[in-house]
Structure 1
Amino acid sequence: MKETQRESLKILIIVPAFNEEEAIAGTIGNLLNVRDRFPGLDICVINDGSKDGTADIVRKYPEVVLLDLPNNLGIGGAVQTGYKYADYAGYDIAVQFDADGQHSAAELETIITPVADGECDMCIGSRFVEKTDYSGSPFRRMGIFYFERLIRLLSGQRVTDPTSGFRAVNREIIQLFSEAYPSDYPEPEVIIYLRRKKKRIQEKAVRMHSRQGGESSITPFKSIYYMAKVTLSIVMQRLVGGRV
């Protein structure tokens, strides 16, 4: 990405947060540290009806936009809220970024550059394009492998890390997502949706950290429900071309 191009881009970092008071300050600090590399970069935290002090912590950072939802919408609703704001405010690129500290701001350029250069419509940060020190639970890795195979079967495209929430999209995708987005567990579903729309998807190797605080909302039972629900949704999308 050329320096002049980087300076002219309006980039929004979308950070959905639910009960992330232990990690959100570190996540914001991580993002603020790279703002000098992206003059047009803004940060938007969507507080998804948290019951803890997440919103109060975000309010300590006047340079961060806080969208404070009165009720919990789930990850899909929170992320779509961010995309609606990005569309309304006219951003060129939006980046999804987890609040729990797993994503690294140092990797932003890795996934923004292919989108900014017009190589793709969405770029996903992947833990598996190259060998990394990622060591998720066997059940989680099995789920990732399952969705990688299912998406490849249904769309013809291999996506090594289909559950990664670290992804950048261009203006056209911002507009699409502001209108339609899965309600929960959206990451694999939108890949099929965008492939059906004939959009270009890339992956780039990134390093991710372990969760920096709080607890994952995905229990073993929820993981089974997640796999069944998302499987049904993406198969139906492929068969009947339904909306997300």
Structure 2
Amino acid sequence: MNTPAKILVIIPCYNEEATIVDTVERLRATCPEVDFLVINDCSTDRSAELLERHHYPHLDLPVNLGIGGGVQCGYRYARANGYDVAVQMDGDGQHDPAYLSAVVEPVLAGRYDMCIGSRFITRQGFQTSFMRRVGIRFLSWLIHLLCGHRVQDVTSGFRATNARLTAYFADHYASDYPEPEAILSATLAGFRVGEAPVIMQERQGGVSSIRSFKSAYYMIKVSLSLIIDRLAIRKTKR
């Protein structure tokens, strides 16, 4: 990316010892012009040791906040340090930094306040399991029902935000499984949310926070949270 804009890549990290070094090194080799910050969310493996050994810019959280709380720390850092764009990129190797410009450029061009890297536009690369795709389509339908805006890859953690939305998320961000809720809250707050095609890879190591029997719990919890969020905003506007 040939731009004078200040860009921060936020990399949440929880027990990613198998992938965090490769993730950071790929980012540095592909996009040397951007800054990055790893948010170590009380990892119990060697992640903290590796971050220290390689002298990567990082925050060691004193308590485990979950993915939402960790990313929100990154948004607060981006706001405090005057970044033009904040990018969330997972530490498990799924997100290819070669597509960083794909999610950043629509934000810099002013088309979107948040651009989400979507694996479902061109349907290339890793498409996740059939059951997860069903769940993602359901959440996409639910968000469209609640706010009238369609996003295909609602659980994608590869996304870029401009300074205004970064500041909003620094104060308003779901703490548990935030990706779908962030789309709803940003849209209802009047921000423009869109997608750009990216190719993702399968998780390169570690364990997903959504697995086996927990997937049903995830769907129920997120669906209820989205509905409650919508009702709360409607009540506030009255």
Q: Which residue of 2 aligns with 1:51?
A: 44
Aligned to 1:182: 174
The normalised TM-score by structure 2 is 0.95
Q: For the aligned residues, what is the CA RMSD?
A: 1.4
1:197 pairs with one of 189, 192, 207: 189
Secondary structure of 1:191's match? helix
For the pair 1:32 / 2:33, whether they are aligned, the reply is no
Identity %: 48
Residues 15 and 45 in structure 2, CA contact (< 8 A), matched pair in contact too: yes
Specify which of 205, 208, 221 is matched with residue 213 of structure 1: 205
Tell me the secondary structure at the aligned position of residue 175 of structure 2.
coil
What residue identity is the alignment partner of 2:11? V
Aligned partners of 2:74 and 2:101: how far apart in 1? 20
In the alignment, what sits opposite 2:9?
13
Cα contact 2:31–2:97 (8 A) shared by 1? no
- Please name the residue that 1:120 is paired with: 112
Deviates more, 1:175-184 or 1:217-226: 217-226
Q: Give distance in 1, aligned partners of 2:14 and 2:191.
A: 30
- Look up the match of 2:59: 67
Q: 2:94 aligns with which of 81, 95, 102?
A: 102
Amino acid in structure 1 at the alignment position of 2:122:
E
Structure 1 CA distance for aligned equivalents of residues 192 and 210 of structure 2: 29
**Partner residue of 1:231?**
223
Q: Which consecutive segments of 4 or more residues in structure 1 shift more than 2 A?
A: none
Instruction: Deviation per CA, 1:57-115: give whole Å up to 9, x if none.
Output: 112333x3110012211101111011111111111100000000000000000000000
Aligned twin of 1:23? 19
Q: Distance in 2 between matches of 1:92 and 1:151?
A: 27
What is the distance in 2 between the residues matched to 1:229 and 1:116? 34
Once the two structures are TM-superposed, the CA of residue 20 in structure 1 deviates from its matched residue by: 0.3
In 2, distance between residues paired with 1:235 and 1:135? 27
1:137-158 CA-to-partner distances (Å, cap 9, x unmatched) read 2221111111111111111111
Cα deviation digits, residues 197-236 of structure 1 (max 9, x gap): 1110110000000111112122222211111111111112
1:35 Cα deviation (Å)?
3.0
| DSSP-derived class of the 1:33 partner | helix
When normalised by structure 1's length, the TM-score is 0.92
Gaps of 5+ in 2: none
CA contact (8 A) 2:125 2:201 kept: no
